[in-house]
Structure 1
Amino acid sequence: MDRGKRSDKLVQSSNGKIYMDLKDILREHALVFLPAKSLFRFKGVCRDWKLQISTPFFAHNQSNTFHDFSGFFCQSLSGPLFFIPVDPNAHGVPDQSLSFLPEPVDIRTSCNGLLCCQSRNGDKVYYICNPVTKQWKTLPKHNADHGCDPAVVLAFEPSLLNFVAEYKLLCAFQSPDFDDAYEFEIYSSAEGSWRISGEIHFGNQFRKLIPTSGISVNGIVYWQTTQSHLFAFDLAIERSQILYGETGTLGVMDGKLCVTSIQNGVLVVKMLSNAHTNTMEMSSQVKTWKGMQRINLPKSVLEDASSSFDSRQVASARGNIIKRLVSASGNVVVFRNGNKLQFCDLKSKEIGQLSQKVNNSDLRMISYVNSLVEI
């Protein structure tokens, strides 16, 4: 009996050492899950929080933890560059026009907090920057002719082992030596140079890739084609292939490539489940895409949205009218409704409207993650 009582006292004493104060839990374990703009505001909470958020180690952890879709960098041919946040109180950048870069630029692609831009004049060089920290790097001049609207995709996967971001920039370009063929040029931050891959993809006279549709998922870059297929390039083995596609907007959800569309009033999300069905027997029951979600949209949203897509943005697939969406990443799907941008949260099924309106029909919108990643 006495030994039992002494044991209880020891357990109680040891448990008291395990528990942390709530303020310590928030500082050590919760702050890294917040977007960059919120973190800058929280520096004013107290001295401990300011010191915590200001350390390079914290920035490294935040870039590996926070991957939520935060908004768009937008640019039209006639207007200035600007940023539209999902939540103006939580997401944002200190200089949405990117005036810290040495010259005017066109936005091209983004991945996990890094933004790729290209100079408008001269050698058309690329810049990699973090709009939050205003850190930037000029890439060396590329070797091939990437064209006036390059099919360029930034591939960056944060790693706990790398305190400085290691990324690749891939551009697919029309081969100067072979008709109806694509070649590929790759920039590696680890090597600090461009290199033209030995891979050449033939037979694209009916399957031209759409330059602005590119996206990187787990080391593989995907583009949509004009024939509703997927053009894929594996950065690890430097091989390309054509996959059976779905009409819609490409995005990343739960680390998987997804395609999202609106079909007969229903928001449909499908995930790439097998990339090798095009090599299987015709009688195989294995499907390329697997349904993830189906959400019925209100009639009011559909009626308003029906007038916001012109004939170039509408395609027919098996009798269903599918409207192309602006973005589908994380748990947020964004679609254009006239001059408004509306969103659907796939978890809560909530439908809302972003704060800023868009009036340009030629607007290019690049999705962005509000990260503290170091370049």
Structure 2
Amino acid sequence: MSVMDRGRRADKLVANKNSILYMDLKDIIRNHALQFLPAKSLFRFTGVCRDWKLDITTPFFAHKQSNSFHDISGFFCQSGTAPPSFISLDPNAYGVPDPPLNFLPEPVEIRTSSNGLLCCQGRDGYKAYYICNPVTRKWKKLPKPNADHGCNPAIVLIFEPSLLNFVAEYKLVCVFPSVDFDNGYEFEIYSSRDESWRVSGEIYFGNHPPVPRTGVHVNDIVYWVLDYQILVFDLAMERAQLSGSFCETGGIGALGRMDGKLCLAKPSLTGLTVKVLSNAYTNTMGMHSNVKAWETKHQISLSPPPFDSTTYNHRMMTNYILFAGGNVVLYRSGGKLHTYDLKTKETQCLGDELDRNARIVSHVNSLVEI
């Protein structure tokens, strides 16, 4: 073997020793897998070794995890004036410190959530909004809005994790009754970057108010249920319009977000149908256009079904699907709450329903920093 050959082989061995094949398993998991796990699991893994604990508890790791983990982990539920409780989809993997939200400075009502952040509203004074991460128990009190949002605001929290932003940047969008125009509704927007509220110049006129807790944000557009239509608010243009295409679906269901698109989950006698908005601009098409706004994504048979044939009522159908988003649909049946996983096609009973008017907000078990 020549000197040149020996040199080449030595270089090759040095290169291989620096590759992932020569890393310890614990280092491979730490560097390439931990960031995809939920917060509760990560807190347990801080006990594996000193290196894992140091890594998991750094702000940089929290930033990576909040950008990598987006699965629906459970639901905050609140009935009447009782404190909120948390129902986990998998208690071994997902969870928040118990009791939840007692770290906030006053009793609150849960309002909306987005990718690990939760928006709550105080019950006293001017009913301040709080943005918090129930996992880390970090929170921020927002300044007083310019407008009166009412006792049950139709508000949406918007937080899209970004690798470029180490501090969470988020917005709140609330549609509220105008005090200056009959049957008018205005929009107020909070920006964490500006740390201030601003009332948009746009006004929507209509006879039906937006339904609280139905707001969904998809691709810089916010949607609210309005009786048999959808109120659409374009954040970039700050323009509002009604989407008549909702009528194609045959009634109201639960709006959500799946695979980056607006989705609609509706119950049927045997299960549920999930549709996605394939064309958001059908309102601008010609009168005889064959373009369909909604595309059926899933046709699902459920056991137990949302309701039996003896309780079937077309108007009541709107109350059975409580949440649809990610890969999860939450529905009620026989006084109990159930979930259906669109990936595993499994149904899970979460327990007895609190009451039919309970506020339910989804949660992503994230380490996101506020």
- TM-score, L = length of structure 1: 0.90
1:291 corresponds to: 296
Contact 1:308–1:338, Cα closer than 8 Å, also in 2? no
Output the CA distance in 2 between the equivalents of 1:234 and 1:96. 37
Q: Secondary structure at the match of 1:62?
A: helix
Superposed, 1:302-317 pairs within 5 Å as 302=305, 305-306=307-308, 314-315=316-317
Match of 1:329 in 2: 325
- 1:106 & 1:313 partners in 2: Cα distance? 28
Which residue of the partner structure matches residue 91 of structure 1? Answer: 94
Cα distance, 1:279 vs structure 2: 1.2
Cα distance between partner residues in 2 of 1:17 and 1:275:
50
CA change 1:219–1:95 in 2 (3 A) is farther
Contact 1:257 1:271 (8 Å CA) reproduced: yes
**Alpha carbons 2:320, 2:333 under 8 Å: kept:** no
Alignment partner, residue 368 of structure 1: 363
1:54-133 → structure 2 map (5 Å cutoff): 54-133=57-136
Q: How far, CA to CA, are the matches of 2:44 and 2:315 in structure 1?
A: 40
Paired residue secondary structure (2:135): coil
Q: Which residue of 1 aligns with 2:235?
A: 235
Pick aligned residue for 1:271 from 257, 260, 276: 276
- 1:224 maps to what in 2? 225
Shift of the 89–330 alpha-carbon distance from structure 1 to 2, 3 Å rule, reads same
1:168 lines up with 2:171 in the alignment:
yes
CA distance in 1, matches of 2:310, 2:58: 46
Shift of residue 12 of structure 1? 5.4
**Aligned mates of 2:343, 2:225 — CA distance in 1:** 26
Contact persistence 2:255–2:262 (CA under 8 A): yes
Q: CA deviation at 1:338?
A: 2.7
Amino acid at match of 1:238: E
Distance 1:148 1:62, change over 3 A: same
- How far did residue 5 of structure 1 move? 9.2
Q: Secondary structure of 2:33's partner?
A: helix
Aligned in 2, Cα 1:49/1:260: closer, same or farther, shift over 3 Å?
Answer: same
SS in 2 for 1:326: strand
TM-score (norm 2): 0.91
C-alpha distance in structure 2 between counterparts of 1:234 and 1:372, whole Å:
29
* Structure 1 unaligned spans of 5+: 316-321
Q: Give 1:183's match in structure 2, choosing from 186, 189, 192.
A: 186
The runs of at least 4 consecutive aligned structure 1 residues that moved more than 3 Å come to: 1-13, 304-313
- Structure 2: how far apart are the matches of 1:185 and 1:342? 35
Alpha-carbon distance change, 312 to 57 in structure 1, aligned in 2, over 3 angstroms: farther
Contact kept in structure 1, 2:320 and 2:332, CA below 8 Å: no
- Alignment partner, residue 152 of structure 1: 155
Aligned residues: 362
CA distance in 1, matches of 2:14, 2:100: 56
- Tell me, in whole angstroms, the C-alpha distance in 2 between the residues paired with 1:141 and 1:310: 44
| 1:99-153 Cα deviation digits (max 9, x unpaired) | 1111111111111111111111111111111111111111111111111111111
Asked if structure 1 preserves the Cα contact closer than 8 Å seen for 2:159 and 2:171, the reply is yes
